[in-house]
């Protein structure tokens, strides 16, 4: 009889339709509880050299507002541009298409030294409010059919600046990771008359083995099909297609779960925990999207300590995503961590 806590198996990612290989027997060696003292580098509240700090000049010339909560501007080195001329190439196997878009940068706080887990919930709420505003105004534009809000945190994730910030890339086509989720959610909705993630959240709230944190309106969990060792998702407890549908109370609950989850991340290895995170929500293509259930993904690269990174190479790059520690073990560890940030302990 297969024991999923012991034997190699594959798990189905219902959200993408892909499979992940799990090899729990390899993670049997006891946990060292290793937390390296990487000694936290204290940063100044204001850094005259930082291109995101209030009042400073950015690399390409413009000067930031003297902002006192959040601040948003169009990326000076945008990967997508709104005025790209239309055009298409279709020569047999060779296909290409012009892409229009807008890239924005969001400063989460005027404080150079803070990160989300160290910010007050009411200040994170202002970040949520700005996300909503940007999602709605960018999404309202005719040529914008998808708005990707994301955060790259930590230099291992290629983040260029420790000042707390995130990005938005809004564009005319649907990006590939989102397209996979649309296909799966649509199929499930057509077959069951219910949103896939609505069913999933109900299942997880019943099983409880993969939960990390919950408040009245949101839950943070390690998805059953997680690929990265400490991959998590934040989901609302009711079906909401986009952040624009959140009530004021739910926006605050979202800020709260974002903080609670990232505190536990930082407390895992006593380090400012790096990750790429982003919100997946209904496309802004003017269509109805009854299949959509908004959520936020967190993909952290760390494995066993502040310095041991999981590389998706070899078999993973050529054949299939794979993990050792099970989703349930990861959830256990994250759940058991203090909700008081290590810097304040
Ligand atoms: P990271 O999340 O990778 O750190 O991105 C920060 C963004 O800020 C990056 O996309 C932009 C970069 O293009 N940027 C500006 O728009 N102006 C600047 O003066 C420097 C960086
Ligand atoms: Zn700064």
User: Helix (H, G, I), strand (E, B), or coil: what is residue 343?
Assistant: helix
Instruction: Evaluate whether 135 touches 242 at the Cβ level (below 8 Å).
Output: yes
The secondary structure element, H or E, covering residue 113 is none
User: Does residue 32 or residue 107 have the better pLDDT?
Assistant: 107
Task: Report the atom number in ligand 1 closest to the C-alpha of 77.
Answer: 13
Task: Give mean pLDDT, residues 182-205.
Answer: 98
Q: Could you tell me the strand order of the sheet in which 146-153 lies?
A: 71-74, 101-107, 165-171, 146-153, 275-280, 295-299, 232-236, 218-221, 211-214
* 298-313 tens-digit pLDDT: 999 998 888 888 888 9
The total number of structural domains in the chain stands at 1
Ligand nearest to the CA of 46: 2
* 207-250 tens-digit pLDDT: 999 999 999 999 999 999 999 999 999 999 999 999 999 999 99
Distance CA(264)–CA(214), nearest Å, equals 13
- Judge whether residue 29 has pLDDT over 60: no
- Residue 10: inside a domain: no
Strands 18-22 and 322-323: parallel
DSSP, residue by residue, 135-176? HHHHHHSTT--EEEEEEEESGGGT----SSEEEEEEESS--H
What percentage of the chain exceeds 70 in pLDDT? 96
- Using CB distances shorter than 6 Å, the residues near ligand 1 are 51, 58-60, 75-77, 105, 152, 158-161, 167
- Residue 33: inside a domain: no
- Judge whether residue 32 has pLDDT over 70: no
* 70-114 tens-digit pLDDT: 999 999 999 999 999 999 999 999 999 999 999 999 999 999 999
Instruction: Evaluate whether 42 touches 113 at the Cβ level (below 8 Å).
Output: yes
- Residue 194: inside a domain: yes
- Residue 211: inside a domain: yes
In this structure, the chain runs to a length of 345
How far, in Å, is the centroid of ligand 1 from the Cα of 178?
Answer: 23
> Closest Cα partner for 334 from 217, 204, 220, 215?
220
- Judge whether residue 33 has pLDDT over 80: no
Read off the pTM: 0.96
Task: Give mean pLDDT, residues 42-46.
Answer: 93
Listed range (9-13, 101-105, 143-147, 158-162) with the worst mean pLDDT = 158-162
- Residue 126: inside a domain: yes
Distance CA(25)–CA(3), nearest Å, equals 10
- Residue 12: inside a domain: no
Find the CATH number of the domain harbouring 129: 3.30.428.10
- Residue 26: inside a domain: no
- Judge whether residue 38 has pLDDT over 90: no
Q: Which domain holds residue 121?
A: 41-84+97-344
- Residue 2: inside a domain: no
Task: Report the atom number in ligand 1 closest to the C-alpha of 59.
Answer: 19
């Amino acid at each position: 009889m297969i024991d999923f806590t012991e034997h190699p198996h594959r798990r189905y990612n219902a959200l993408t339709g892909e499979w992940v290989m799990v090899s729990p027997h390899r993670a049997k060696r006891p946990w060292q509880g290793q937390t390296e003292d990487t000694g936290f580098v204290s940063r100044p509240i204001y850094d005259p050299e930082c291109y995101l700090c209030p009042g400073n000049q950015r690399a390409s010339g413009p000067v930031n507002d003297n902002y006192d909560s959040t601040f948003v501007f169009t990326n000076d080195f945008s990967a997508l541009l709104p005025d790209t001329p239309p055009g298409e190439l279709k020569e047999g196997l060779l296909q290409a298409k012009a892409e229009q878009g807008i890239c924005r940068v969001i400063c989460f706080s005027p404080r150079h030294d803070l990160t989300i887990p160290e910010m007050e919930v009411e200040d994170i709420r202002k970040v949520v409010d700005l996300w909503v505003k940007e999602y709605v105004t960018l999404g309202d534009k005719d040529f914008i059919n998808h708005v990707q809000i994301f955060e790259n945190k930590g230099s291992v994730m290629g983040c260029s600046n420790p000042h707390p910030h995130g990005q938005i890339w809004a564009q005319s086509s649907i990006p590939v990771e989102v397209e996979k989720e649309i296909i799966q959610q649509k199929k499930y909705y057509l077959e069951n008359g219910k949103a896939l993630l609505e069913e999933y959240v109900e299942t997880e709230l019943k099983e409880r083995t993969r939960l990390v944190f919950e408040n009245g309106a949101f839950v943070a969990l390690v998805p059953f099909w997680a690929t990265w060792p400490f991959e998590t998702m934040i989901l609302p407890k009711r079906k909401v297609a986009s952040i624009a549908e959140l009530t004021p109370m739910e926006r605050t609950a979202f800020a709260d779960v974002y903080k609670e989850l990232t505190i536990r991340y930082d407390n895992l290895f006593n380090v400012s925990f790096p990750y790429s995170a982003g919100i997946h929500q209904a496309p802004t293509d003017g269509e109805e999207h009854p299949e959509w259930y908004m959520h936020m993904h967190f993909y952290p690269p760390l494995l066993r300590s502040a310095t041991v990174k999981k590389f998706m190479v070899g078999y993973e790059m050529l054949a299939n995503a794979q993990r050792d520690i099970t989703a349930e073990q990861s959830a256990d560890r994250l759940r058991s961590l203090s909700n008081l940030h290590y810097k304040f302990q």
